[in-house]
Structure 1
Amino acid sequence: MILLRRLLGDVLRRQRQRQGRTLREVSSSARVSLGYLSEVERGQKEASSELLSSICDALDVRMSELMREVSDELALAELAESAASDTVPAPMRRTVLNPVSVTSVTGVPEERVTIKAPAEAVDVVAA
Protein backbone atom coordinates (compact mmCIF):
# COMPACT_ATOMS: atom_id res chain seq x y z
CA MET A 1 0.00 0.00 0.00
CA ILE A 2 1.31 3.43 -0.95
CA LEU A 3 1.06 6.03 1.81
CA LEU A 4 1.13 9.65 0.78
CA ARG A 5 2.56 10.73 4.13
CA ARG A 6 5.62 8.53 3.58
CA LEU A 7 6.24 9.89 0.10
CA LEU A 8 5.80 13.44 1.36
CA GLY A 9 8.21 12.81 4.23
CA ASP A 10 10.82 11.35 1.88
CA VAL A 11 10.62 14.39 -0.40
CA LEU A 12 10.85 16.81 2.53
CA ARG A 13 13.91 14.99 3.89
CA ARG A 14 15.62 15.06 0.49
CA GLN A 15 14.92 18.78 0.14
CA ARG A 16 16.42 19.45 3.58
CA GLN A 17 19.45 17.25 2.95
CA ARG A 18 20.11 18.86 -0.47
CA GLN A 19 20.49 22.13 1.39
CA GLY A 20 22.82 20.55 3.95
CA ARG A 21 20.52 21.59 6.78
CA THR A 22 19.74 19.79 10.01
CA LEU A 23 16.33 18.91 11.41
CA ARG A 24 17.03 21.38 14.23
CA GLU A 25 17.66 24.27 11.81
CA VAL A 26 14.53 23.61 9.76
CA SER A 27 12.30 22.94 12.78
CA SER A 28 13.44 26.20 14.39
CA SER A 29 12.89 28.20 11.21
CA ALA A 30 9.49 26.57 10.58
CA ARG A 31 8.48 26.92 14.26
CA VAL A 32 7.74 23.21 14.46
CA SER A 33 9.04 20.92 17.16
CA LEU A 34 12.06 18.89 16.12
CA GLY A 35 10.32 15.65 17.10
CA TYR A 36 7.21 16.43 15.07
CA LEU A 37 9.23 17.39 11.98
CA SER A 38 11.18 14.16 12.36
CA GLU A 39 7.93 12.17 12.50
CA VAL A 40 6.64 13.97 9.38
CA GLU A 41 9.87 13.18 7.52
CA ARG A 42 9.62 9.52 8.52
CA GLY A 43 6.01 9.37 7.33
CA GLN A 44 4.64 8.71 10.80
CA LYS A 45 2.54 11.88 11.02
CA GLU A 46 0.18 13.54 8.56
CA ALA A 47 1.21 17.15 7.97
CA SER A 48 -1.52 19.78 7.73
CA SER A 49 -1.42 22.30 4.89
CA GLU A 50 -0.42 24.99 7.42
CA LEU A 51 2.48 22.88 8.66
CA LEU A 52 3.58 22.09 5.10
CA SER A 53 3.49 25.79 4.29
CA SER A 54 5.72 26.58 7.27
CA ILE A 55 8.18 23.82 6.37
CA CYS A 56 8.25 24.92 2.71
CA ASP A 57 8.92 28.51 3.78
CA ALA A 58 11.72 27.33 6.06
CA LEU A 59 13.23 25.32 3.19
CA ASP A 60 12.60 28.15 0.70
CA VAL A 61 10.73 25.72 -1.55
CA ARG A 62 7.39 26.39 -3.22
CA MET A 63 4.67 24.05 -2.05
CA SER A 64 3.73 23.43 -5.69
CA GLU A 65 7.29 22.21 -6.36
CA LEU A 66 7.14 19.97 -3.31
CA MET A 67 3.78 18.55 -4.35
CA ARG A 68 4.96 18.05 -7.94
CA GLU A 69 7.89 15.99 -6.69
CA VAL A 70 5.56 14.01 -4.41
CA SER A 71 3.22 13.45 -7.37
CA ASP A 72 6.09 12.14 -9.49
CA GLU A 73 7.13 9.78 -6.68
CA LEU A 74 3.52 8.61 -6.32
CA ALA A 75 3.25 7.88 -10.04
CA LEU A 76 6.44 5.80 -9.93
CA ALA A 77 5.26 3.94 -6.84
CA GLU A 78 1.92 3.16 -8.50
CA LEU A 79 3.68 1.84 -11.61
CA ALA A 80 5.99 -0.31 -9.50
CA GLU A 81 3.05 -1.61 -7.48
CA SER A 82 1.01 -2.49 -10.56
CA ALA A 83 4.02 -4.14 -12.22
CA ALA A 84 4.60 -6.21 -9.09
CA SER A 85 1.00 -7.39 -9.03
CA ASP A 86 1.05 -7.87 -12.82
CA THR A 87 -2.34 -6.22 -13.24
CA VAL A 88 -3.57 -3.11 -14.97
CA PRO A 89 -5.01 -0.53 -12.53
CA ALA A 90 -8.77 0.00 -12.95
CA PRO A 91 -8.46 3.64 -14.12
CA MET A 92 -6.31 2.45 -17.03
CA ARG A 93 -8.86 -0.17 -18.20
CA ARG A 94 -11.18 0.73 -21.04
CA THR A 95 -14.34 -0.86 -22.38
CA VAL A 96 -14.47 -2.24 -25.87
CA LEU A 97 -16.94 -0.71 -28.32
CA ASN A 98 -17.58 -1.65 -31.90
CA PRO A 99 -16.81 1.19 -34.31
CA VAL A 100 -19.96 3.32 -34.37
CA SER A 101 -20.94 6.93 -34.76
CA VAL A 102 -22.29 8.32 -31.48
CA THR A 103 -23.38 11.69 -30.16
CA SER A 104 -21.48 12.91 -27.12
CA VAL A 105 -23.05 14.51 -24.07
CA THR A 106 -22.35 17.93 -25.61
CA GLY A 107 -24.33 16.98 -28.70
CA VAL A 108 -21.26 16.93 -30.94
CA PRO A 109 -21.03 13.82 -33.11
CA GLU A 110 -18.00 11.65 -32.36
CA GLU A 111 -16.65 8.56 -34.01
CA ARG A 112 -15.44 5.84 -31.68
CA VAL A 113 -12.83 3.47 -32.93
CA THR A 114 -11.76 0.32 -31.12
CA ILE A 115 -8.06 -0.46 -31.14
CA LYS A 116 -7.07 -3.87 -29.86
CA ALA A 117 -3.77 -3.99 -27.99
CA PRO A 118 -2.08 -7.34 -27.34
CA ALA A 119 -3.11 -7.52 -23.68
CA GLU A 120 -6.44 -5.70 -23.75
CA ALA A 121 -8.75 -3.59 -25.90
CA VAL A 122 -8.64 0.19 -25.62
CA ASP A 123 -11.47 2.59 -26.49
CA VAL A 124 -10.22 5.63 -28.43
CA VAL A 125 -12.39 8.66 -29.21
CA ALA A 126 -11.60 10.48 -32.47
CA ALA A 127 -12.69 14.13 -32.67
Structure 2
Amino acid sequence: MTLLRIEIGDSLRAARLRQNRTLRDVSTGASVSLGYLSEIERGQKEASSELISAICEELELPVSLLLREVSDRVALSEGVAIPDTVPPEMSERVLAGEQAMAGNS
Protein backbone atom coordinates (compact mmCIF):
# COMPACT_ATOMS: atom_id res chain seq x y z
CA MET A 1 0.00 0.00 0.00
CA THR A 2 1.30 3.41 -0.98
CA LEU A 3 1.13 6.13 1.67
CA LEU A 4 0.37 9.60 0.36
CA ARG A 5 2.54 11.26 2.99
CA ILE A 6 5.57 9.37 1.68
CA GLU A 7 4.87 10.24 -1.96
CA ILE A 8 4.22 13.90 -1.08
CA GLY A 9 7.42 14.03 0.96
CA ASP A 10 9.48 12.41 -1.80
CA SER A 11 8.07 14.85 -4.37
CA LEU A 12 8.70 17.89 -2.18
CA ARG A 13 12.27 16.76 -1.46
CA ALA A 14 12.91 16.15 -5.17
CA ALA A 15 11.63 19.64 -6.01
CA ARG A 16 13.83 21.20 -3.33
CA LEU A 17 16.90 19.29 -4.47
CA ARG A 18 16.29 20.20 -8.13
CA GLN A 19 16.57 23.82 -7.00
CA ASN A 20 19.72 23.12 -4.97
CA ARG A 21 18.02 24.53 -1.88
CA THR A 22 18.60 23.54 1.71
CA LEU A 23 16.00 22.43 4.23
CA ARG A 24 16.83 25.53 6.25
CA ASP A 25 16.24 27.85 3.31
CA VAL A 26 12.85 26.36 2.45
CA SER A 27 11.73 25.98 6.07
CA THR A 28 12.48 29.64 6.75
CA GLY A 29 10.65 30.83 3.64
CA ALA A 30 7.64 28.60 4.29
CA SER A 31 7.53 29.45 8.03
CA VAL A 32 7.82 25.83 9.14
CA SER A 33 10.42 24.42 11.47
CA LEU A 34 13.39 22.73 9.85
CA GLY A 35 12.75 19.52 11.79
CA TYR A 36 9.08 19.38 10.80
CA LEU A 37 9.91 19.97 7.12
CA SER A 38 12.47 17.19 7.33
CA GLU A 39 9.85 14.84 8.81
CA ILE A 40 7.41 15.77 6.02
CA GLU A 41 10.02 15.08 3.36
CA ARG A 42 10.81 11.70 4.94
CA GLY A 43 7.11 10.80 5.03
CA GLN A 44 7.02 10.68 8.82
CA LYS A 45 4.50 13.51 9.23
CA GLU A 46 1.24 14.19 7.42
CA ALA A 47 1.27 17.82 6.28
CA SER A 48 -1.90 19.90 6.22
CA SER A 49 -3.07 21.37 2.93
CA GLU A 50 -2.13 24.83 4.25
CA LEU A 51 1.40 23.70 5.00
CA ILE A 52 1.76 21.96 1.63
CA SER A 53 0.60 25.17 -0.01
CA ALA A 54 3.16 27.25 1.91
CA ILE A 55 6.00 24.87 1.03
CA CYS A 56 4.96 24.79 -2.63
CA GLU A 57 4.76 28.57 -2.70
CA GLU A 58 8.28 28.82 -1.32
CA LEU A 59 9.46 26.34 -3.96
CA GLU A 60 7.52 28.22 -6.67
CA LEU A 61 5.85 24.90 -7.42
CA PRO A 62 2.14 24.94 -8.22
CA VAL A 63 0.28 22.63 -5.85
CA SER A 64 -1.44 21.14 -8.91
CA LEU A 65 1.93 20.00 -10.28
CA LEU A 66 2.90 18.49 -6.94
CA LEU A 67 -0.39 16.62 -6.80
CA ARG A 68 0.00 15.47 -10.42
CA GLU A 69 3.44 14.06 -9.64
CA VAL A 70 2.11 12.35 -6.52
CA SER A 71 -0.84 10.99 -8.50
CA ASP A 72 1.50 9.59 -11.16
CA ARG A 73 3.68 7.96 -8.48
CA VAL A 74 0.66 6.34 -6.84
CA ALA A 75 -0.70 5.17 -10.21
CA LEU A 76 2.63 3.52 -11.00
CA SER A 77 2.70 1.76 -7.65
CA GLU A 78 -0.85 0.52 -8.26
CA GLY A 79 0.03 -0.65 -11.76
CA VAL A 80 -2.44 1.78 -13.31
CA ALA A 81 -1.66 3.28 -16.70
CA ILE A 82 -1.08 7.01 -16.57
CA PRO A 83 -3.11 8.73 -19.30
CA ASP A 84 -1.33 11.20 -21.57
CA THR A 85 -4.36 13.46 -21.58
CA VAL A 86 -7.03 14.42 -19.11
CA PRO A 87 -10.24 12.40 -19.59
CA PRO A 88 -13.01 14.53 -21.14
CA GLU A 89 -15.31 14.12 -18.13
CA MET A 90 -12.60 15.52 -15.85
CA SER A 91 -12.02 18.49 -18.16
CA GLU A 92 -15.75 19.18 -18.12
CA ARG A 93 -15.85 19.10 -14.29
CA VAL A 94 -12.85 21.43 -14.04
CA LEU A 95 -14.32 23.87 -16.56
CA ALA A 96 -17.71 23.77 -14.82
CA GLY A 97 -15.99 24.52 -11.50
CA GLU A 98 -14.08 27.45 -13.01
CA GLN A 99 -17.29 28.87 -14.49
CA ALA A 100 -19.09 28.51 -11.16
CA MET A 101 -16.25 30.25 -9.34
CA ALA A 102 -16.22 33.08 -11.89
CA GLY A 103 -19.94 33.54 -11.35
CA ASN A 104 -19.39 33.90 -7.57
CA SER A 105 -16.85 36.70 -7.85
Question: Which residue does the alignment assign to 1:20?
Answer: 20
Q: Report the identity percentage.
A: 64
Q: Secondary structure at the match of 1:37?
A: helix
The structure, 1 or 2, with the larger RCO (C-alpha pairs under 8 Å, 6+ apart) is: 2
Counterpart residue identity of residue 57, structure 1? E
Question: 1:35-50, aligned counterparts within 5 Å?
Answer: 35-50=35-50
Distance 1:31 1:53 in 2: 11
Q: Quote the Cα distance in structure 2 between the aligned partners of 1:76 and 1:13.
A: 19
In 1, Cα distance between equivalents of 2:77 and 2:35? 27
CA distance in 2 between counterparts of 1:34 and 1:77 reads 29
How many Å apart are 1:52 and its aligned residue? 0.4
- For residues 5-84 of structure 1, the aligned pairs below 5 Å read 5-79=5-79
Instruction: State the shift of 1:79 in Å.
Output: 1.2
Query: Distance in 1 between the 2:23 and 2:77 partners?
Result: 26
Number of positions where the alignment pairs a residue of Structure 1 with one of Structure 2? 80
Q: 1 CA distance for matches of 2:40 and 2:77? A: 19
Match of 2:99 in 1: none
How high is the TM-score relative to the length of structure 2?
0.74
Given the two structures, how large is their TM-score scaled by the length of structure 1?
0.62
Specify every segment of 5 or more residues in structure 2 that has no aligned partner in the other structure, as ranges. 81-105
Alpha-carbon RMSD across the aligned residues, in angstroms, is 1.0
Q: Specify which structure has the higher proportion of helix.
A: 2
Choose between structure 1 and 2: higher strand proportion.
1
User: d(CA) in 1 for partners of 2:78 and 2:31?
Assistant: 34
